[in-house]
């Protein structure tokens, strides 16, 4: 299983949105999509950083067709405003890459009082997808790609403690948020199938790459990460391959979970990744869907 961008026919005329496109994996996903002719919307919280990213891409791909729209996924008002602005300028959407994410090492909440990682990594993307899906053609090439993480394997959804205040284990809230991304991608694909819709929902994980998620580490954690990094991580361009494969390959199967398959999924050859048994629980996925509708105030209809 591999992705060769040079062999993909021109995708000119097709449109993609990449959240968190200004750096790291999102930036490399944007580069890959631009290389094959997609018009890519950089959906970013920081417009200045997004502009710098666009300029950098244009230097290496002068023919790239890029636009920037502001989006703060932790703020559901911002999500709605983004969709309104997008709808004013564009009539369709072919690929949505739900990439943006935050990792915090202290308790933080969004303006609505929801744990920040759950709000940003999952709930914002849930709302964004629900408001954009009617823009997508009923076509097998239409894709919704949700970025999860190997961190999902040790996580559960704490329905009675979304803030994970009483959860055991380091990084429980982050793991929960990335588990939610995976289970949302799966449940969305099941609901698309039940609606006889050809749009494909796929989930991926990038392995481990120093993309800025680790900026809040303590100096000791940061030092250890840097020392062990060469053994545990791979570059952002390699980390972007699973998402690009899910977005562009004609061989993908809706509901599949793609990512690096070596060294516990940290890096290595692209393939169908192992997932936790908990993540396969359809009853939990349905309960998560209901909770997401409740917290977002959005009824997700297909």
Active site residues: 174
Token pair listed for 132? 């954009």
Strand order in the sheet with 15-19: 65-70, 39-44, 15-19, 95-98, 143-147, 200-204, 257-262, 267-272
Partner residues linked to 145 by β-bridges: 97, 202
Looking only at the bridges linking them, the beta strands covering 257-262 and 267-272 are antiparallel
State how far the alpha carbon of 192 is from the alpha carbons of 50, 83, 114, 196, 285, in Å: 32, 21, 28, 6, 14
Token pair listed for 143? 């894709």
Residues 198/254, Cβ–Cβ less than 8 Å: no
């Amino acid at each position: 299983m591999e992705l060769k961008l040079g062999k993909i026919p021109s995708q000119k005329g097709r449109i993609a949105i990449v959240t968190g496109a200004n750096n790291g994996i999102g930036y490399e996903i944007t580069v890959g999509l631009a290389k094959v002719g997609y018009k890519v919307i950089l959906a970013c919280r920081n417009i200045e950083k997004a502009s710098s990213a666009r300029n950098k891409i244009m230097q290496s791909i002068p023919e790239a067709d890029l636009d920037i729209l502001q989006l703060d996924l932790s703020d559901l008002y911002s999500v709605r405003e983004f969709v309104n602005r997008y709808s004013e300028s564009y009539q369709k959407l072919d690929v949505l890459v739900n990439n943006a994410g935050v990792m915090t090492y202290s308790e933080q909440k969004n303006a609505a009082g929801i744990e920040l990682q759950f709000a940003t990594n999952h709930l914002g993307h849930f709302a964004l997808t629900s408001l954009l899906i009617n823009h997508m053609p009923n076509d097998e090439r239409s894709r919704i790609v949700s970025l999860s993480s190997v961190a999902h394997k040790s996580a559960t959804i704490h329905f009675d403690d979304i803030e994970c205040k009483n959860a055991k284990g380091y990084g429980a809230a982050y793991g929960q948020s990335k588990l939610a991304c995976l289970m949302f991608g799966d449940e969305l694909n099941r609901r698309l199938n039940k609606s006889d819709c050809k749009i494909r929902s796929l989930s991926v994980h990038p392995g481990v790459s120093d993309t800025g998620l680790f900026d809040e580490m303590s100096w000791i954690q940061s030092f250890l990460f840097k020392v062990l990094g060469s053994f545990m991580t791979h570059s952002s361009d390699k980390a972007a391959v699973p998402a690009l494969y899910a977005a562009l390959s004609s061989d993908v199967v809706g509901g599949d979970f793609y990512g690096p398959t070596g060294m516990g999924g940290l890096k290595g050859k692209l393939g169908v990744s192992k997932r936790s048994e908990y993540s396969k629980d359809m009853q939990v996925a349905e309960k998560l869907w209901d909770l997401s509708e409740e917290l977002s105030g959005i009824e997700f209809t297909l």
